[in-house]
């Protein structure tokens, strides 16, 4: 599950390749060629589409909330609430997207200056990044130390209980590079909707 974000009036500098009607009959080489051309289209036209899985979108969304609050961007509460879901909400004007991109780029620059490559928010879930689940007691310890909604910038977090010490991450984490892809999308989308 993820967030599919479509530009409303994206800047287009190249044409999208037409999906072949005979896809199933094509050789693997021909399919690879089409896929390469399709990727080039999206790379050259970053305002067309942005995707984030739900684990990555939540930190981006929380950064948008913070940018709206701290930079007084004027995004309505209804729009802000709607951007948390695949509900069709989003910013409708390029000028508003540029303001949000400016605020997020400033956050990204500050994080990079602190040596960060990723950040997350505690939304009550933690993991070891290897599929191992934490005990409810360990999760309670982490949630006491980092209250729900806390920005987590020093990762991994060290969980020390008794005679063990393990590296853990909040489940909702995004890389700064992914956030920069979103700001590039914002600067080229002409407004957007989330589905």
pLDDT (tens digit per residue) in 123-151: 988 988 887 778 899 999 999 999 988 88
Q: Token digits for 112? A: 């990079």
Rounded distance between C-alpha atoms, residue 185 and residue 180, angstroms: 9
Residue 4: phi and psi, rounded to 5, are -100, 120
Same-domain status, 155 and 72: no
pTM to 2 decimals? Answer: 0.89
Indicate whether 76 and 12 sit together in one domain: yes
102 shares a domain with 12 = yes
Check whether residue 152 and residue 187 sit in a common domain: no
97 in the same domain as 182: yes
Domain co-membership, 50 together with 143: no
Structural domain span for residue 50: 2-115+176-194
Whether 111 and 183 map to the same domain: the answer is: yes
Question: How many structural domains compose the chain?
Answer: 2
In this structure, the answer to whether residues 6 and 77 fall within a common structural domain is yes
**pLDDT-based confidence at 13, cuts 50/70/90?**
very high
13 and 74 share a domain? yes
- pLDDT tens digits, residue range 52-85? 999 999 999 999 999 999 999 999 999 999 999 9
Strands 2-7 and 164-175: unpaired
| Predicted local distance difference test score (pLDDT) of residue 59 | 95
């Amino acid at each position: 599950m993820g967030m599919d974000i479509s530009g409303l009036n994206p800047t287009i500098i190249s044409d999208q390749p037409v999906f072949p009607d005979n896809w199933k009959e094509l050789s693997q080489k021909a399919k690879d060629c089409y896929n390469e051309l399709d990727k080039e289209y999206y790379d050259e036209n970053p305002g067309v589409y942005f995707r984030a899985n739900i684990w990555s979108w939540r930190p981006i969304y929380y950064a948008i909330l913070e940018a709206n609050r701290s930079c007084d961007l004027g995004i309505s509460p209804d729009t802000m609430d709607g951007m948390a879901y695949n509900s069709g909400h989003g910013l409708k004007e390029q000028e508003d997207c540029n303001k949000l991109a400016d605020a997020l780029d400033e956050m990204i620059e500050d994080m990079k200056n602190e040596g960060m490559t990723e950040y997350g928010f505690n939304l009550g879930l933690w993991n070891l990044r290897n599929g191992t689940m934490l005990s409810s007691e360990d999760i309670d310890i982490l949630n006491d130390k980092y209250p729900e909604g806390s920005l987590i910038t020093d990762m991994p977090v060290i969980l020390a209980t008794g005679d063990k010490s393990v590296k853990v991450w909040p489940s909702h984490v995004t890389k700064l590079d992914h956030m920069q892809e979103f700001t590039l999308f914002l600067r080229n989308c002409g407004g957007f909707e989330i589905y």
